[in-house]
Amino acid sequence: MSPLLAAAGGPLGEILLSLVVILLAAKVGGELSVRAGLPTVLGELVMGILLGNLALTGWHGLEFLKHQPVLAVLAEIGVILLLFEVGVESTVPQMLRVGPVALLVAVVGVVVPTGLGLVVAKLFFPNESFYAHLFIGTVLCATSVGITARVLKEIRKSDSAEAKIIVGAAVIDDILGMILLATVTGMILAAGRGSTLSVVGVAWIAGKAVLFLVGAIVVGLWLAPRMYAVATRLRSGGWLLPLSLAFCFALSFLAELAGLAALVGAFTAGLILEDVQFRDLATKEEYELHDLLHPVIGFFLPIFFVLMGLRVDARAFAQTEILLFAGILTAVAIVGKHACGVVVWGGRADRWAVGLGMIPRGEVGLVFAGVGTTLVLGNRAVVTPAVFSACVIMVVLTTFVTPPLLKWRFGRLESR
């Protein structure tokens, strides 16, 4: 501990200082991103990488940030809230309405990058277990539609046929990604307990994930409107946020209990909740759920992004093998998602534009990679620090290239 922190008398002082540093670093990173025309998450991540590698200059004053256990929990709460919000933005009816084209795009966009990622990981790290390879593939399957949606809005293409396919596919993608994450996590946990996994065993874990999702959705769709209806009739105000958060945390807890990742539960909770269920309560309390969630997420989420950046060892950038791996992983991530475009038929939508729109991994890719660093198999993290650094590079690059590529493609389409 630095002498400064020792003087501040232990953990509370340490956490307060961490929060000041992280809140300001995240906002400064965001500002730099905006000025460079990039998504803010990139700036937050890069600030984290800078802060985390200050020790390379010989100054170790902020090293404590990496090992602050409470900060790690706050970051986990941040991710749970993020996945909850991602889920809230999609609804079950919307999911069921997704067209066959978007469905096919989503399936291809999960299968191809995951398969390619697995193969690349196997080539580079032949001594790691199959699970480690599969997990790296899983990291590649996530689509972060937020980045694409913002670009499409900016160039006024939110209503295009391409946008509709991309957004529909992204919803299904999130769900498939969650099932895949849950299955792979379950397999690794089972392998860690020494169970050998038969095909039946894997099918059971995948089945459990699907069952959890379907079961939670069925029970949740019954429960949620009733829960909000009761809250609307109560005399005390301010139920909207705590009730919704309790619902999110309860499903996250149940997901952990079922041996899935907490994120899967949080996402499912968000998927279940939709505006019509709490319309009356929101009207009564004169607050929208979005406006209430926004500051809470704004507090917790930057902690996650900065912490993810902190975990990147910049020395990895000097290792040819890691850089090469990161480069090929990025190429595979781009090519794999871009393959989605091939299955767009009918000719109304541009194949290239759809394929490009599916490329960014953004926060969801980071979240998956982060989960991998916490899974341990044979005393080794499934995602090692070096691989994690490569994943972050992949996330940064895929997020970085998408906006200009999308603008270029739509520009070409217009000039035809």
For its own copies, the binding residues (CB under 8 A) are: 4, 7-9, 11-13, 15-17, 19-20, 23-24, 26-27, 30-31, 33-35, 40, 69-70, 73, 76-77, 80, 234-236, 238-239, 241-243, 245-246, 249-250, 252-253, 256-257, 259, 262, 291-293, 295-296, 298-299, 302
Q: How far is the CB of 316 from its own copies (least distance, A)?
A: 27
C-alpha 78/C-alpha 66 separation (Å) is: 16
3-state secondary structure of 208: helix
Nearer to its own copies, 4 or 203 (CB): 4
Nearer to its own copies, 7 or 96 (CB): 7
Residue type, 407: K
Tokens of 414: 């217009």
Nearer to its own copies, 326 or 382 (CB): 382
DSSP character at residue 261: -
Nearer to its own copies, 228 or 352 (CB): 228
Q: What is the 3-state secondary structure (H, E, C) of 329-380?
A: HHHHHHHHHHHHHHHCCCCCCCHHHHHHHCCCCHHHHHHHHHHHHHCEECCE
Q: Which of 69, 76, 70, 382 is nearest to 252 (CA)?
A: 76
Q: How far is the CB of 257 from its own copies (least distance, A)?
A: 5
Q: How far is the CB of 23 from its own copies (least distance, A)?
A: 4
Nearer to its own copies, 193 or 416 (CB): 193
C-alpha 309/C-alpha 391 separation (Å) is: 11
Q: How far is the CB of 112 from its own copies (least distance, A)?
A: 32
Judge contact between 45 and 308, C-beta under 8 A: yes
Nearer to its own copies, 280 or 331 (CB): 280
Residue 202: Cβ-neighbour burial (10 angstroms; 0-12, 13-18, 19+): middle
Q: How far is the CB of 90 from its own copies (least distance, A)?
A: 22
Tokens of 370: 């982060």
Judge contact between 341 and 354, C-beta under 8 A: yes
Nearer to its own copies, 4 or 211 (CB): 4
Q: How far is the CB of 43 from its own copies (least distance, A)?
A: 9
Q: How far is the CB of 7 from its own copies (least distance, A)?
A: 6
